[in-house]
Amino acid sequence: MSLPIFPPGADPGPDFAALLRRVEPAALPWWLGGAGGPPEGARGLRDGRPGHLPHGTTVVALRFADGVVMAGDRRATEGNFIAHRSMEKVFPADRHSAVAVAGAAGPAVEMVRLFQTQLEHYEKVEGVALSLEGKANQLGQMVREHLPMAFQGLAVVPLFAGYDLRRQTGRIFTYDVTGGHYEETDHAATGSGGRDARTTIKLGWRPGLSRAEAIELAVRALYNAADEDAATGGPDAVRGIYPVVALVTAEGYSRVAEDEVAARFADLLARGLGRER
């Protein structure tokens, strides 16, 4: 490696993906403009369905009084097999935002890693962080570049949420496979169990939820999604695996301790959740 110094006309600026393309193309996946080309045929597919590769499932986000809550179940599936029981799908994007992913696990995690590096890189090179809207746009561009993979059954659909320091409120953005992104007013859910999770949140959400209420609503939504969708993992008390729940507030990103999530579930069960047959 040599010091990456560029002549003024060829400077990649604060764009990390553009920098990688120039100095380390092998580290970028081809669908983000790196070395190599599209794989021959549709290797990720089995009978036209994404069978061979792990897929992540349900993630949710909702606004509450101090910011946003984001949560995701822990299961990854390969067709009808369970690929991972403790996969993480909710990540800090930077100090004041979080990103959650559903879809093909490999590309999804790679996209998150690139996104995290991109935000930090911009902040360091420019000396100021991107606006929340700017971050949401960046992620949209990455999803759009991934579109050819989506046509091969390897779609990645993220959920982005953060605390907007200028407007002093939590904000949530949803995406489609073309990179289109839409700001949601109060809550969002995506992934295979997204529809069931959304129904739960829709029924329970109201403006100004407290921290505890918001966490409870998020885990309840994931529980109901797991109840209806085989690809979504429910709370696993035997192994001690619970959903990842994260908060983004004016103080920044923080992950809710697993003990607290377990206690919330115990609480919900004691109050009758899951008694219906």
In the complex, minimum distance from the CB of residue 255 to other proteins, in angstroms, rounded to a whole number: 12
Q: Is 195 in the site for other proteins (CB under 8 A)?
A: no
Annotation says 169 is catalytic: no
Name the amino acid, one letter, at 46: R
Cα–Cα dist 205/165, whole Å: 23
CA 146 to chain centre: 15
Cβ-based neighbours of 32, under 8 Å, separated by 6 or more: 17, 114, 142, 145, 146
Q: Which of 78, 86, 117, 236 touches other proteins (CB under 8 A)?
A: 117
**Length of the chain (residues):** 277
Extract the tokens encoding 166: 């200028």
Q: Is 239 in the site for other proteins (CB under 8 A)?
A: no
Q: Which of 51, 98, 127 is nearest to 247 (CA)?
A: 98
8 A C-beta contact, residue 261 and residue 228: no
**Residues 74-113 as x/- pattern, contact with other proteins by CB under 8 A:** ---------------------------------------x
In the complex, minimum distance from the CB of residue 29 to other proteins, in angstroms, rounded to a whole number: 12
Q: Which of 61, 62, 101, 114 touches other proteins (CB under 8 A)?
A: 114
In the complex, minimum distance from the CB of residue 128 to other proteins, in angstroms, rounded to a whole number: 10
* Shorter beta-carbon distance to other proteins: residue 14 or 179: 14
**Cβ atoms within 10 Å of 18's Cβ, excluding its own:** 15
Q: Is 36 in the site for other proteins (CB under 8 A)?
A: no
* Shorter beta-carbon distance to other proteins: residue 122 or 223: 122
In the complex, minimum distance from the CB of residue 24 to other proteins, in angstroms, rounded to a whole number: 5
**Cβ atoms within 10 Å of 252's Cβ, excluding its own:** 15
Q: Which of 2, 80, 168, 185 touches other proteins (CB under 8 A)?
A: 2
- Which residues are known catalytic residues? 57
